[in-house]
Structure 1
Amino acid sequence: MLEKTRRRMNHSEIPGRSIADPIVVSYLAHHEKLDAIDFRTNVDIGFFGGFDSGFGLQVESLPAYAAEFADVRSRHLPDDEERIVSRLSFTGLDAIRVVQRSYKGALPFGLTFGDSADVVAEKLGAGAFREDKSSTLPDHSAERFVHSHAVGNLVVIAKYDTNLRLMAVYLMQADRTMVKAKRRKATLPEQRIVPGNIDKVEGLRDQIPTPRWRESMAEGDELFNEFDIAMAETSLNAFIDTVKVATSQQDAQAIQAAVKDIVLAINEINARSGIIETLERDELGVLIDAVVRASGFSLPDDEDITAEWREW
């Protein structure tokens, strides 16, 4: 009996499985006993668990899940009926809703509501690869902090209160972007960077899109401003300079680091002014991809090397 209970409570086994998988069926039955209020009220929209119960299990259709995630772990229904578990949520008491009930079971990875961010990272064995702040609602909610951690093939999202004390945990499989990024990092030592390609990298400086942005600004496009254009231009030139040096040194890791730096720089600019829309995103993506490939860095045709960090 004890072994069955442990299996039922192994949250890490659930994401990516069919809703009809016996492991998921047992898991749901156990959680319904923990808090049956409204547990199946919203099944028609793919959500098991009461919105205020502290527990939630979300499912998606097979095509929707497969489009975002690389691994469907089990199949038990015909294609048009199949639903795959995409996300688990575990929440504690939340001041936003006074009726919120706290999750009654054990949290994933031995986490406990109230854990500090440092304790969470220690228990997960992985620091956050992304740290964000949630929006606030005056007179309704305090500022929240959200940290994302990669643990094996899973993503653990920890939500904190203003004192960085754990108040919610979300669990899902790594998406296709993360799987590709993990694979790319593992193969960095195998990249064959060509020192003689420095001139190819330099030749792409003419493709920096900021001159067009200035022309659009001069024509009255209020999307742009000189300060942010200049910041982007400086960052893009520094990116090309860094990739040139890394190419001469055959340093694939430094090239990937340069991509991260330029993407984060553009993230910051865009967060301030919203300067990056569809055309600008395409221009920047094409340029960054071309600079990386010009060094000799090999990328699959369907891989966006910026996606891991990009927020625009």
Structure 2
Amino acid sequence: MESLSAYSTEFEEVRSRHLPDDKERIVSRLSFTGRDAIRAVQRAYSSALPFGLTFGDSSNVVAEKLEAGPFREGKSSTLPDYSAERFVHSHAVENLVVIAKYDTDLRLMAVYLMQADRTMLKAKHRGASLSKQNIEPGNIDKVEALRDQIPTLRWREAMAEGDELFNEADIATAETALNAFVDTVKAATSQRDAQAIRAAVKDIVLAINEINGRSGMIETLERDELGVLIDAVVRASGFSLPDDEDITAEWREW
């Protein structure tokens, strides 16, 4: 549970209230944890799980029951030492985020339900309005011009000056992915394909997620450089974004 002010910052405004002050507490997450995934002092949840889920379901079965594949996959460190590997998949189901946690065999150990936050609701609205985007084929030169803003040149200079945050292998991987992103957006711009532009954003964000998961080299400055570049490339195509919207937030982990 969270305070009203904390909840309102991340999520939509509460529709109704019964207490007159900020002492009101709002439920922000429901957690269901299975018998084999908990400490001895805890009691396993034994009633029916939401969406017809069952502890022990495979990740594929979970996706089928939710009728939605995961929009984010990663490793979890929040469950006890039940297995050597623990995985977490996040699914968007209507206006909820369903977080499924798995053991090393990708068998369901726990389920968390959360309300979709403002970022996810904006992304959902944006996805529904892609057909209304006014992509301009004549803007491919504007997209190409932004290739010069790929920040890997500065990263290499920082590495040469002794910054141990960076390594050549991950810089090269990021550079290849960023050039591919610009190429894809150029092609999508020429075809007026807003869906392909959004998919290109997802691909580059996931690629940087993977790089950062290995090296941790995306800190505040690097995050800002990448965010500015991705936003500028998308806008250069004619894709319209509100000034306060981060198109990377739906998938970004850095």
Q: Please, what TM-score do these two structures have when normalized by structure 2?
A: 0.94
Query: Cα distance 1:306–1:95, how it changes in 2: closer, same or farther (>3 A)?
Result: closer
The answer on 1:225 being equivalent to 2:167 is: yes
Quote the Cα distance in structure 1 between the aligned partners of 2:211 and 2:62. Answer: 30
Query: Cα distance 1:136–1:308, how it changes in 2: closer, same or farther (>3 A)?
Result: closer
Q: Which amino acid aligns with 2:150?
A: I
Out of 49, 54, 72, the position equivalent to 1:107 is 49
Q: Greater shift after overlay, 198-207 or 110-119?
A: 110-119
2:82 counterpart residue number: 141
Out of 271, 274, 280, the position equivalent to 2:216 is 274
Say which one has the larger Rg: 1
Contact 1:150 1:156 in 2 (8 A): yes
The answer on 1:92 being equivalent to 2:41 is: no
Out of 78, 88, 111, the position equivalent to 2:20 is 78
Out of 215, 221, 240, the position equivalent to 1:298 is 240
Structure 1 segment 103-182 matched on structure 2, within 5 A? 103-135=45-77, 140-142=81-83, 143-182=85-124
1:34 counterpart residue number: none
Identity %: 83
Query: Cα distance 1:191–1:213, how it changes in 2: closer, same or farther (>3 A)?
Result: same
Contact 2:71 2:251 in 1 (8 A): no
SS in 2 for 1:172: strand
Quote the Cα distance in structure 2 between the aligned partners of 1:95 and 1:181. Answer: 33
Q: Kindly provide the CA deviation profile for residues 121-161 of structure 1, in whole angstroms up to 9, marking residues without a partner as x.
A: 222222222222224999x4312221211111011111122
SS in 2 for 1:193: coil
Contact 2:134 2:238 in 1 (8 A): yes
Q: Kindly provide the CA deviation profile for residues 199-220 of structure 1, in whole angstroms up to 9, marking residues without a partner as x.
A: 1111111111111111111111
Contact 1:255 1:292 in 2 (8 A): yes
- Structure 2 gap segments, 5+ residues each: none
Query: Cα distance 1:215–1:294, how it changes in 2: closer, same or farther (>3 A)?
Result: same
Query: Cα distance 1:169–1:73, how it changes in 2: closer, same or farther (>3 A)?
Result: farther
The answer on 1:265 being equivalent to 2:210 is: no
Contact 1:70 1:179 in 2 (8 A): no
Quote the Cα distance in structure 2 between the aligned partners of 1:76 and 1:155. Answer: 26
Q: Which aligned segments of 4 or more residues in structure 1 are displaced greater than 4 angstroms?
A: none
Query: Cα distance 1:164–1:255, how it changes in 2: closer, same or farther (>3 A)?
Result: same
- Structure 1 gap segments, 5+ residues each: 1-58
2:3 counterpart residue number: 61
Query: Cα distance 1:301–1:61, how it changes in 2: closer, same or farther (>3 A)?
Result: same
Q: Greater shift after overlay, 168-177 or 185-194?
A: 168-177
Query: Cα distance 1:95–1:106, how it changes in 2: closer, same or farther (>3 A)?
Result: closer
Q: Which amino acid aligns with 1:280?
A: E
1:288 counterpart residue number: 230
1:243 counterpart residue number: 185
The answer on 1:255 being equivalent to 2:201 is: no
SS in 1 for 2:249: coil
Quote the Cα distance in structure 2 between the aligned partners of 1:137 and 1:77. Answer: 34
2:140 counterpart residue number: 198
Q: Greater shift after overlay, 74-83 or 254-263?
A: 74-83
Quote the Cα distance in structure 1 between the aligned partners of 2:78 and 2:125. Answer: 36
Query: Cα distance 1:86–1:137, how it changes in 2: closer, same or farther (>3 A)?
Result: closer
Q: What's the Cα RMSD here?
A: 1.8
Quote the Cα distance in structure 1 between the aligned partners of 2:170 and 2:46. Answer: 49
Q: Which amino acid aligns with 2:118?
A: R
